[in-house]
Amino acid sequence: MDINEANKHHWQTYPAGTTPGIDEMPSPELLDSLPKTARILDVGTGTGHLADSLAERGYAVFGIDLNPQEIAADDARGTTVAYSVQDIIAGTDFPEHSFDLVMFRYTLTNIHWSGWEQLGREVGRLLKDSGYLWLAEPLVNDAYATRYTLAEQVLDEPHTVFVFSDPGKAKEIVNADQLQQAEKDGAVSRIIRHYTEAEIAELFPGYQVLTQEHTEHVSPSGYSLSTLVMTLQK
Ligand SMILES: C[S@@+](CC[C@H](N)C(=O)[O-])C[C@H]1O[C@@H](n2cnc3c(N)ncnc32)[C@H](O)[C@@H]1O
């Protein structure tokens, strides 16, 4: 299976309005430091809740996503957010230095690691000088140790997680053969990657880390997840 294509296919065909609910938001301090006319980009906007809530505060907000159904549903709400189908890895059609703030919430984790270099370059191109980057993304977590080990035997990449269409399946798979069989049976919906704080900081070299904190979640398959909420400045 070509993981990159499989993940893309997953998100391009995911039913609208059903991306997992995550509620981290840029801090009031970060929002207060933006000009009233700030232009904000939400990458992998999904259900658009984050983009809509910032647009309600008067900013010029843009939401992009791979998923055309999601973007159509977002558009249909008739908010002021400019939603469009775009792939951050392939490069977007926004001019350089378009944004005061670029946001990723549970999006980086869904982007295949082979695309990270292009992603870093595109974010650098889109952000204004001294612009902000805000992330809320799941960190490498001990609770996933067994799943990382199994996945690494199949993929030779650390900290990847096979996500099953049936979340209950995650705890039933205990060896690499079962994992490969599940993949052949079409039970794997996508493969995500968890990152360390150091890996995320390395992706954006030269940025200054302004704030960094953790929030706790439980995944749909019942695993503890720690989310890194981070603000960087270009
Ligand atoms: C887990 S959802 C998160 C949605 C949203 N950010 C939120 O916080 O609710 C991940 C989203 O990233 C989108 N996505 C994945 N790869 C992408 C890419 N290369 N470019 C743009 N969007 C992408 C998916 O279509 C999906 O809607």
pLDDT tens for residues 30-42? 999 999 999 999 9
CB atoms within 10 A of CB 22: 18
pLDDT at 1 over 80: no
Of the chain, the percentage scoring pLDDT greater than 90 comes to 69
The pLDDT of 49-73, averaged and rounded, is 96
Give residue 99 CA to ligand 1 midpoint distance, Å.
Answer: 19
Mean pLDDT lowest among 93-97, 125-129, 143-147: 143-147
CB atoms within 10 A of CB 158: 16
pLDDT tens for residues 82-91? 999 999 999 9
Predicted confidence at residue 21, as pLDDT, reads 60
Q: How confident is the model at residue 112 (pLDDT cuts 50, 70, 90)?
A: confident
| Residue from 11, 53, 87 to probe ligand 1 pocket by mutation (most atoms less than 8 Å from CB) | 11
pLDDT at 167 over 90: no
Ligand 1 contact, 92 CB (< 6 A): no
User: Contact 24/83 with Cβ under 8 angstroms?
Assistant: no
Beta bridge partners of residue 85, listed in sequence order: 65
Ligand 1 contact, 64 CB (< 6 A): yes
CA distance 100 to 208: 15
Reading phi first (left if > 0) and then psi (alpha if -120 to 50, else beta), residue 91 is in left
pTM of the model: 0.94
| Residue from 62, 84, 89, 107 to probe ligand 1 pocket by mutation (most atoms less than 8 Å from CB) | 107
Pairing of strands 160-164, 188-193: antiparallel
